[in-house]
Chain A
Amino acid sequence: AQTVTQSQPEMSVQEAETVTLSCTYDTSESDYYLFWYKQPPSRQMILVIRQEAYKQQNATENRFSVNFQKAAKSFSLKISDSQLGDAAMYFCAYRGGGATNKLIFGTGTLLAVQP
């Protein structure tokens, strides 16, 4: 069975600085997708960034980028120029490329942004 591990329950970053959130996963599949979702307090989960395993190039979305290391099964999220609005719970998620389409989530990392 696939698993997703986020080993940092909480992280803190100063406004305008850079922070990296870690995620590792375990799978025997070669085709899969990885996601980072953001869940602000009492608000709905929104997609931050996605990565297809067959793509070698790391995905980027404005201030958000990932470091995808397929051999190491690592998928970290880098947030540059952190803003107060980035404060939220961040979840790493895995979806297999086969018939199952469910997302498998990690336990999350709570990010605090200090002014």
Chain B
Amino acid sequence: DTGVSQDPRHKITKRGQNVTFRCDPISEHNRLYWYRQTLGQGPEFLTYFQNEAQLEKSRLLSDRFSAERPKGSFSTLEIQRTEQGDSAMYLCASSLIRGRQETQYFGPGTRLLVL
């Protein structure tokens, strides 16, 4: 399978702990996006990378959140000092930008539960 993969698929943590999620995009996709989806809602944009450069961050991305994409391949999303409100599904998507054409392909997500 050459789709977007995310690890872990599920994570349970205690409030105050740090967690890190990984996303492996489709090979050769130059853009990578992170979204957060809470129950009953559509995904909300967090941040995105073009190659290794982080080009946009949402106001939803507090100082406790940091994302990296070293070497323009996989990406990590770290949440420090987790809070119960961080409980959500974290989705990664990748795309290959070709002129005006861009379609984002999503991974299966990492479901985070903060106790």
| Interface positions of A (Cβ within 8 A of B) | 4, 33, 35, 37, 43-47, 50, 52, 91, 93, 95, 97, 100-108
Contact = CB atoms under 8 A, between A and B. Distances in A.
Nearest to A89: B42
Interface in B65-110: 91, 93, 97, 100, 102-109
A91 B104 CA distance: 14
B100 A50 contact: no
Given A91-B42, A108-B42, A102 B48 contact: yes
Contacts of A93: 42
Given A91-B42, A102-B45, 16 more contacts: A33-B102, A35-B103, A37-B106, A44-B3, A44-B4, A44-B108, A45-B43, A45-B106, A46-B106, A47-B105, A93-B42, A102-B56, A103-B104, A106-B42, A107-B42, A108-B40
A26 to B, nearest CB: 15
B43 A105 contact: yes
Contacts of B58: 102
A101 B108 contact: no
B18 to A, nearest CB: 26
Q: Interface majority SS on A: helix, strand, loop or mixed?
A: strand
A76 to B, nearest CB: 17
B10 to A, nearest CB: 11
Interface of B: 3-4, 31, 33, 35, 40-45, 48, 56, 58, 91, 93, 97, 100, 102-109
A37 to B, nearest CB: 8
A97 B101 CA distance: 10
Contact of A44 (B41, B97, B100, B106): B106
Contact of B91 (A35, A45, A47, A106): A45
B33 A102 contact: yes
A101 B43 contact: no
Given A44-B108, A44-B109, A107-B42, A50 B103 contact: yes
